[in-house]
Structure 1
Amino acid sequence: MLDTASLIKLLAQPQKIVITTHHKPDGDAMGSSLGLYNYLIQQGHHTKVITPTDYPDFLSWLPGNGEVIIYTEQTSEAAELIAGADMIFCLDFNALNRINEMGALVGESSAIKIMIDHHLEPQDFDDYRYWDINACATAQLIYTFITDELNNKKLINKDVATCLYTGIMTDSASFSLPKTTSAVHRIIADLIDEGAVNWQIHEQIYKNSSENRLRFLGICLSERLEVLHEFNTAIIAVPKADLEKYDVITGDTEGIVNYALSIAGVKLAAFIVERNDRVKLSLRSKGEFPANEICKKYFEGGGHRNAAGGVSSGSLEEVVNQFKLILPEYKKLLIQ
C-alpha cells in the first residue's frame, strides 16, 4: 500500500487524475467528487470527474458540475481518460461492481487507485486507502483528507466548501443521524466560514421538486404505503406503471423511504420499486437495527446499519412477499 508521504510527493507534481463514484450518485457521492475536483484543479492537476451513470438534476448546480463526464453518455471519452490516468480516486464506494461497466476499466488500469470511503468491508483493489466507517459521509473524509493527511487546509475555498457541505448534509439527513458528532459540526462551521452558504444549499437540495415528483410522492404515501404494526415496519412498494405515469426521473425517488421511517413506532422502512430489469430496495432503520444485514443476506446488497440497499430479479409482488417473510426472523429486534 502507498503511504501518505509518498502520495503527497506524487501530488506535488501535476498528475492526470480521474475521480469516480458509485452508480446513480447521491449528494455525498457528487459532493465528495466535486469537492475533491475543486481542490485538485487549484494545484494544476488535469482532473476529470467520471460518473458511471446520470444523477439527480438537483445536484447539477454544484461548482464544477459542467465538467462531469457521464460514462453511459460519453463512453469512449471516459474509457480513454481512465486508461490514461496516473491516479484514480474512488469515492464513496469500496467495490468495483458499484461502478458497473467502469469497474473492469478501473480494475485493469495501471493508475494508482485511492479509495476514500465509509462503507463496510472494502474490496482490495486500491493502492491507498483513507477509510472510516464511523464517518457520517465521504465528504467528511475528503475534508479531513485535505486538512489532516495532505495538510492543505488553505485550499478549501468556497467551491470546495460548498460541495463538501452538500455531501455531509445529505448523507447525515440534514445533520440528524447518530454519526453527526460534534466534530462534524465543527467541520460544518468551518465550511460555512470558507464560503458555503448553508441556507442556499438547503434550498437547492430540498426545495427544488418538480410538480410530477410531488404528485408521485402523494401516490406513494396515499396508495403504496403499508404499515405492518406487528413488526414496527413500513413498506412503500411502487410498480413501474407509477414511474411511467409521473415521468419519474433520476433523483425523484430519493428520500421517500424516510417518510415511512418517520411514522411513530416504526423501526424499519422499505422503499421497494419495480425498475426495467429488476426490483430495487432501499431500507432505512432506527437505532441498532441492521438494515444492511437484510440487504446483504437476501438482496445482493449492503450498506450502513441504518441505510442500505439491494436488488432482486423477482417480480415486485415476489420481493414484497419475500421481505415480509424475513421480518419474523428480526421480530425481537423490531419490537424491543
Structure 2
Amino acid sequence: MSVYSDLKNILANNNSFILTTHVNPDGDAIGSVMAMYLILKKLDKQVRVINYSPTPYFLSFLDPENIIELFNPERHSAPIRDADVFIAIDFNTPSRLSRMGEEFSKRAGINVCIDHHQNPQPVFQHLFVDTSLSATGHILYNFIEDTKIVEIDYDIAVNLYTAIMTDTGSFRFERTTPEVHHIAAKLIEIGVSPVKVFAAVYDQNTPGKLSLLSEALASIRLYGENNEVGVMVVTAGSLNRYGIDEADTEGFVNFIMSLASVRIGVKFIELAKGCKVSLRSKGKIPVNELAAKYGGGGHINAAGIRLRENKYTDVFEQVIQDAIEMIKMNGVK
C-alpha cells in the first residue's frame, strides 16, 4: 500500500477544500499549492486557494488565471471554517499563517499538512511530511506517481518543476539527489522548458532591486575568529527608497555563502513591524536549531526567524554570538 493512500482517500471522499501556504511564499509554496489545486480540479472538487501574503510578481506566471485569493477576514472566515478539508502546504505550524491562523483554529473539519520541514505541530489530523525530500513539490510528485490519482499534464508539471527548482537552489543544494534529477527530466519530457522557468523566476529584476542588492552587499560584515559568520543587513529605509518588497530579497543571503570562509550566513531585514532573519549554513551545521531558539524554524541548512515585536538591533549581537557558538559546537574550525 502506498504511503499516500490516506491522502488519496481524503481527496476522493470529500468535496470542498481550502488550500493555503505560508506567509511570504516562495517558489515551492506557490508551485505546490497550485499543483494541488490543479489535482483537485481534475477530480471535480470545489477548491479555493487562500493565502495571507500576495504572490511575488516573479511567480505570478504559475497562476495565470488569478486563482489565488488574498485573505480577507470578512470574505474568507466562513469558507475556511466550513470546508470539508483544509490543506496546509509547505509549512507545518499555524504561526506561519499569521492572522489566518485564528480562523484555522476554529475549524472542526479535516486538517491536512503536506510539507518537508522539520518539527510539525500537532494540530493536523493527517501529516504527509518527508524531511528527507528536496521540496514539497517533490512530495506531490511522488504522491501523484504512487497513487496515479491524476495524470501529470503540462500545467501541473510546470508548477512541480518550479517548486523543486527553486527549493534546490536550481539543483545545487544538498538534497539534490539523482531522484531529483530524474523527476526534473520527466517533467521536462512533459513539456516544461528549464530556460523559460528559470527566466520567469530569476530574470525579472528591476533597477531598484539591483540597487538594493548593491547596498546589501556593501553591508556584509564578517564575525568570528576565522570570519566564519557573514552578516548582511537590509533596512526598512532601503526597501522603501527603492520600492522593494521583502520577498525580493529572497536570494540575497546566498551571496554571503559564496564567501570561502563563511559557514553561517545571516540576513537581517528591518520591517515596519519587527524584523526577519534568514539563516543559511554549510555542511551539517543545523541553523534550524538556532532559529528555534527565537521561535523560528526550517531545515538544517536553511531556516528563518520572524520577530514581530523586536527591532533587528534588539537581537543582532545575540544572533551573531549564537551563530559563532553553533559553529564551535559542531566542530568547525
- Is TM > 0.5 for Structure 1 vs Structure 2? yes
Task: Show the counterpart of 2:52.
Answer: 52
CA distance in 2 between counterparts of 1:10 and 1:263 reads 47
- Give the Å deviation of 1:64: 5.3
In structure 1, the residue corresponding to 2:62 is in which secondary structure?
Answer: coil
CA distance in 2 between counterparts of 1:326 and 1:86 reads 44
- Give the Å deviation of 1:11: 3.1
TM-score where L is the length of structure 1: 0.92
- Give the Å deviation of 1:318: 3.0
- Give the Å deviation of 1:250: 4.3
1:176 aligns with 2:166: no
1:256 aligns with 2:260: no
- Gap runs ≥5 in structure 1: none
Does the 8 A contact of 2:17 with 2:46 survive in 1?
Answer: yes
Task: Provide, for residues 287-312 of structure 1, a one-character-per-residue CA deviation record: whole Å limited to 9, x for no partner.
Answer: 01111111111x22111110001134
1:293 aligns with 2:289: yes
CA distance in 2 between counterparts of 1:24 and 1:277 reads 15
1:201 aligns with 2:197: yes
CA distance in 2 between counterparts of 1:4 and 1:176 reads 28
In structure 2, the residue corresponding to 1:53 is in which secondary structure?
Answer: coil
Q: How many residues align?
A: 328
CA distance in 2 between counterparts of 1:6 and 1:170 reads 28
1:93 aligns with 2:84: no
In structure 2, the residue corresponding to 1:212 is in which secondary structure?
Answer: helix
- Gap runs ≥5 in structure 2: none
In structure 2, the residue corresponding to 1:61 is in which secondary structure?
Answer: helix
Q: How large is the RMSD of aligned CA atoms in angstroms?
A: 1.9
Task: Show the counterpart of 1:305.
Answer: 300
Match of 2:213 among 210, 217, 221: 217
- Give the Å deviation of 1:314: 3.4
In structure 1, the residue corresponding to 2:266 is in which secondary structure?
Answer: strand
- Give the Å deviation of 1:119: 0.9
CA distance in 2 between counterparts of 1:14 and 1:193 reads 32
Task: Show the counterpart of 1:110.
Answer: 108
Task: Show the counterpart of 2:223.
Answer: 228
Match of 1:78 among 73, 76, 79: 76
CA distance in 1 between counterparts of 2:85 and 2:248 reads 33
Amino acid at match of 2:20: T
- Give the Å deviation of 1:328: 4.2
Change beyond 3 A, Cα 1:26–1:327: closer
In structure 2, the residue corresponding to 1:248 is in which secondary structure?
Answer: coil
CA distance in 2 between counterparts of 1:186 and 1:156 reads 15
In structure 2, the residue corresponding to 1:113 is in which secondary structure?
Answer: strand
- Give the Å deviation of 1:229: 5.5
Task: Show the counterpart of 2:236.
Answer: 240
Moved more, 191-200 or 278-287: 191-200
CA distance in 2 between counterparts of 1:280 and 1:294 reads 14
CA distance in 1 between counterparts of 2:131 and 2:10 reads 27
Task: Show the counterpart of 1:36.
Answer: 36
Change beyond 3 A, Cα 1:91–1:292: same
Does the 8 A contact of 1:130 with 1:145 survive in 2?
Answer: no
Moved more, 101-110 or 171-180: 101-110
Over the matched positions of the two proteins, sequence identity in percent amounts to 33
- Give the Å deviation of 1:4: 5.3
Does the 8 A contact of 1:237 with 1:320 survive in 2?
Answer: no
Change beyond 3 A, Cα 1:40–1:64: farther
Does the 8 A contact of 1:267 with 1:334 survive in 2?
Answer: no
- Give the Å deviation of 1:10: 4.7
Does the 8 A contact of 1:79 with 1:105 survive in 2?
Answer: yes
Does the 8 A contact of 1:268 with 1:334 survive in 2?
Answer: no
CA distance in 2 between counterparts of 1:30 and 1:199 reads 19
TM-score where L is the length of structure 2: 0.93
- Give the Å deviation of 1:329: 2.0
Change beyond 3 A, Cα 1:221–1:97: same
Match of 1:138 among 131, 136, 144: 136
Task: Show the counterpart of 1:320.
Answer: 316
Change beyond 3 A, Cα 1:314–1:147: same
Change beyond 3 A, Cα 1:329–1:35: same
Moved more, 79-88 or 275-284: 79-88
Change beyond 3 A, Cα 1:140–1:327: closer
Task: Show the counterpart of 2:280.
Answer: 284
CA distance in 2 between counterparts of 1:285 and 1:145 reads 30
